[in-house]
Amino acid sequence: RKEVEQDPGPFNVPEGATVAFNCTYSNSASQSFFWYRQDCRKEPKLLMSVYSSGNEDGRFTAQLNRASQYISLLIRDSKLSDSATYLCVVTPRTSGTYKYIFGTGTRLKVLA
């Protein structure tokens, strides 16, 4: 079983739709969680950190459920420019390096 699992998609949604991605992680001692966005052939860029209390940034909302060991990302009012791969990232507590463990990424395509 992979440490971080995501549905690879692709998710094809019309402009204006709401779309949600989930990610599960296996290490219950994980301590930091992030969503990164990666455009085709580009580097990952931080979209948002994920906190136990949940956090929102404009059209994007991230939630963390430690009991069930999953992270979610909700995108409201999808734009064409949201088309990208969304990477779920976990940092294991057992690692003093704070290295990132990535999921495979979920591809989103927003259609006109």
Partner 1 sequence: DTGVSQNPRHKITKRGQNVTFRCDPISEHNRLYWYRQTLGQGPEFLTYFQNEAQLEKSRLLSDRFSAERPKGSFSTLEIQRTEQGDSAMYLCASSRGGGPDYNEQFFGPGTRLTVL
Residue 51 sits at φ, ψ, to 5 deg, of -115, 160
DSSP 97: T
Judged by CB under 8 A, the stretch of 11-19, 27-35, 55-63, 72-80 that binds partner 1 is 27-35
Half-sphere exposure of 75 (CA within 13 A, CB side): 25
Within 10 Å of residue 41's Cβ, how many Cβ atoms? 5
Binding mask of the shown chain, residues 63 to 102, with x at each position contacting partner 1 by CB under 8 A? ------------------------x---x---xxxxxxxx
Pick from 31, 52, 65, 94 the residue near partner 1 by CB under 8 A. 31
Q: Which range in 9-17, 37-45, 57-65, 73-81 contacts partner 1 by CB under 8 A?
A: 37-45
